[in-house]
Chain A
């Protein structure tokens, strides 16, 4: 029987901790739970989004296409207003890989953090009126 008790975090590698914390805190609006030169964690709706320092080495490019990365875990962040977020983040200089895709299961857009880590924004479909 396993003794796994929970999700500890989901983390990405970053080269510049201050720059990364500023991005996730100021642009994505996530509260900082802990921060240090080698590890920081932000509260993303109850789960830690971790930032792991490479010690300054650049984060290697992540194979991807317009839909998202081809490997590793893919973090999808939920929003209740994807169009407003895409406009605001784009104005702030954030790179989106493609325009917002509207699918039956929700609206999705993939973007990159300052290290080239790829995240997805998703707005679930609106609840049907009861």
Chain B
């Protein structure tokens, strides 16, 4: 098999400037490439030679919102990107102050803690905090 990596993970956005502001100012990413329709971002402190890129593909119109039901849970079809944090409570409180939609409040389990939020186009994103390391 010749798969070598994830080239990128991308979301559709309507307004490129608005989306880039969200991912840089609020999520703390940095732009590594940009043209008229595509922006590539990496995590701000990622210094690896081949970092995983988040792509934003501007389509110039509202991003369709598809929400479906699986069992008792509403989900959107398609993949979901999860960010890792070391303080989910702080981040979600900050997101709320900034007006970021919180789609699912923090849930906790043996697996850690997770919450669901959305970017300005309504794309779903996860925030995840791993459980504490056993001491």
- Closest-CB distance, A129 to chain B (whole angstroms): 21
Contact between chains at B9 and A10 (CB < 8 Å): yes
Contact between chains at B43 and A80 (CB < 8 Å): no
Contact with A along B4-31 (1 / 0, CB 8 A): 1111111110000000000000111000
Which residue from chain A places its CB closest to the CB of B94 in the assembled complex? A2
Tell me the chain A residues, 3-42 only, with Cβ under 8 Å from chain B: 3-13, 28-30, 39
Give the size range of B's interface with the partner.
Answer: 35 or more
Contact with A along B98-135 (1 / 0, CB 8 A): 00000000000001000000000001101110100000
Contact between chains at A3 and B9 (CB < 8 Å): no
For B124, what are the chain A residues with a Cβ–Cβ distance below 8 Å? Answer: 72
Chain A CB within 10 Å — which of B50, B65, B79, B124 has the most? B79
Contact with B along A75-93 (1 / 0, CB 8 A): 1111111001100000000
Number of A-B contacts (CB under 8 A): 162
Contact between chains at B28 and A78 (CB < 8 Å): no
* Number of A positions contacting B (CB below 8 A): 51
Contact between chains at B64 and A45 (CB < 8 Å): no
Tell me the chain A residues, 59-73 only, with Cβ under 8 Å from chain B: 59-63, 69-73
- Closest-CB distance, A16 to chain B (whole angstroms): 14
**In the complex, what distance in Å separates the CA atom of A80 from the CA atom of B43?**
25
Q: Does A100 contact B (CB under 8 A)?
A: no
**In the complex, what distance in Å separates the CA atom of A71 from the CA atom of B4?**
25
For A9, what are the chain B residues with a Cβ–Cβ distance below 8 Å? Answer: 82, 128
